[in-house]
Amino acid sequence: MNRQWRIARYPRADEALGPAHFNWVEQAVPSPGEGEFLVRTLGLAPGPAQRGYLSPGHSAFYGTVPVGEVMRGRGVGEVVASRHPEYIPGDIFSGSLGWQDYSVQRPRGAEFVFSTRRIAAPLRPLPTTTLGMLGQAGATAWFGLVEAGAFRPGDHVLVSAAAGGVGSMAGQIARLKGAARTVGIAGTSEKCRWLCADLGFDAAINYRTENLGERLRELFPRGIDLFFDNVGGEVLNQALANLAQGARVAVCGYIATDYAAQPGAGPANYRFLVYQRARMQGFVVFDYWQRFSEPEAALTAWYQDGTLQDCEDLEEGLEKMPDILASLFTGGNRGVRLCRVAPDPAHLPLLVRGGR
């Protein structure tokens, strides 16, 4: 059987995303046509952008998923049947698998979430190495820092939603690449402790209980060189007022105002871009698809030698996907949220994790 989550209905503007918006369906496993292959889903990577698939008029890139269709989502899987000469059963594949056990795939180019990739040297644990810390979350943090943020060793770096998946990787990568200071912003004191005690952030700010502006002035007396922003809203606005000369804001997301019933206020402090000859640069990780081996190599080495700390939050079971996605909008996750749908194939080499 092919278990699936299909769209039941779209959330209303004032409604939080939840299990009510999905239907659990069980169907026969499909068969690949000529030039296609069948993939069994092993892991899925829920991300905040997926909320847009249920929001008509919102998702500029990808479009909504029609009601009644299988929920779209990237994942990693194993080729189990093939009518394509280059894809052989046993191959490990990442692509837009959807929230289901099986999907029929064909190779596709670098078209954002629809892009496909045959994994040349897969390693267990697959969710970690392909979708998570060493995969897409890591690559997003990497290219956001390096490309959009033009990271320079010695930078004083601020990361918002630092306890989130991309944020917890961005802070660690900044540290490992030689940031002079890495500060995270998070929404609970427990997350703040985790950032400093476990992930090596130099400091963390609880934006719910602390005065953000004051703390930024304290922690960045000479200004923020690089701000990796996942949040937008007032966090972005306060950070803009504390930029150093020549600062770069890597705009990764804006979860504070995205999907809000009322459109959020823009960052009035953008005027500091002039004072500080600073920039805000948006980016989309899929633009760097052809260069994913760069972060993979560096992050894998740091993972193996134990300098990159574990910041993964791995759930088990396809049935949990609606709750996992919803949790990304309520601050419920800590680190890179992933879902293992089926066990990793035992024949894959195990990535040895050092430093423990």
Q: Using the rule CB under 8 A, which residue among 225, 258, 315, 344 binds its own copies?
A: 258
Q: What is the helix (H) or strand (E) element at residue 325, kind and residue range?
A: helix 321-327
263 binds its own copies (CB under 8 A): yes
Stretch that binds its own copies, among 14-22, 78-86, 131-139, 257-265 (CB under 8 A): 257-265
Is residue 222 a contact point for its own copies (CB under 8 A)? Answer: no
User: Whose Cβ is closer to its own copies: residue 90's or residue 266's?
Assistant: 266
Q: Is 280 in the site for its own copies (CB under 8 A)?
A: yes
Cα–Cα distance for residue pair 95/115, rounded to 1 Å: 6
Site residues (CB under 8 A) for its own copies, limited to 91-120: none
293 binds its own copies (CB under 8 A): no
Place of tokens 């423990």: 356
Q: Say which amino acid occupies 281.
A: Q
**134 vs 235, beta carbon nearer its own copies:** 235
- From candidates 76, 251, 321, 338, binder to its own copies by CB under 8 A: 251
DSSP H or E run through 81? strand 74-82
Identity (one letter) of the amino acid at 163? A
Minimum distance, C-beta of residue 329 to its own copies, in the bound complex (Å): 16
Q: 203 forms bridges with which residues in the sheet? A: 183
Of 323, 356, 284, 341, nearest to 130 (Cα)? 341
Q: Where are the beta strands (DSSP E) in 28-73?
A: 37-44
Q: Which is nearer to its own copies, 222 or 271 (CB)?
A: 271
Output the smallest distance, CB 93 to its own copies, in A: 27
Q: Which of 137, 161, 278, 325 binds its own copies (CB under 8 A)?
A: 278
Instruction: Number of residues interacting with its own copies: please give it, by CB under 8 A.
Output: 33
Biggest distance spanned by C-alpha atoms of the chain: 62
Instruction: Identify the bridge partners of residue 243 per DSSP, sorted by sequence position.
Output: 224
- The CA distance from 157 to 167, in Å, is 12
DSSP-derived 3-state class of residue 77: strand
Q: How far is the CB of 88 from its own copies (least distance, A)?
A: 35
Binding mask 26-65 for its own copies (x = CB under 8 A): ----------------------------------xx----
Cβ at position 280, least distance to its own copies in Å? 5
Q: Is 271 in the site for its own copies (CB under 8 A)?
A: yes
**SS3 assignment, position 313:** strand
- 346 is a contact residue toward its own copies (CB under 8 A): no
- Interaction between residue 276 and its own copies (CB under 8 A): yes
277 counts as binding its own copies under rule CB under 8 A:
yes
User: Least Å distance between CB 221 and its own copies?
Assistant: 16
The SS3 of residue 179 is coil
- Binding of residue 287 to its own copies (CB under 8 A): yes
Written as six digits, the tokens of 158 are 């601020």
Between 89 and 266, CB nearer to its own copies: 266
Closest to its own copies by CB, 98 or 267: 267
Please report the DSSP string for 197-265 in residue order.
HTT--SEEEETTTS-HHHHHHHH-TT-EEEEEES--HHHHHHHHTTEEEEEEEEE---TTTTT-SSPPP
277: left (phi over 0), alpha (psi -120 to 50) or beta: left
Dist. CA 212–CA 5, nearest whole Å: 40
Among 274, 347, 352, 356, binds its own copies (CB under 8 A): 274
Closest CA to 192 of 213, 208, 174: 208
Stretch of residues binding its own copies (CB under 8 A), selected from 35-43, 91-99, 103-111, 251-259: 251-259
| Between 84 and 291, CB nearer to its own copies | 291
Interface contacts to its own copies, rule CB under 8 A: 60-61, 232, 237, 251-254, 257-258, 263-284, 287
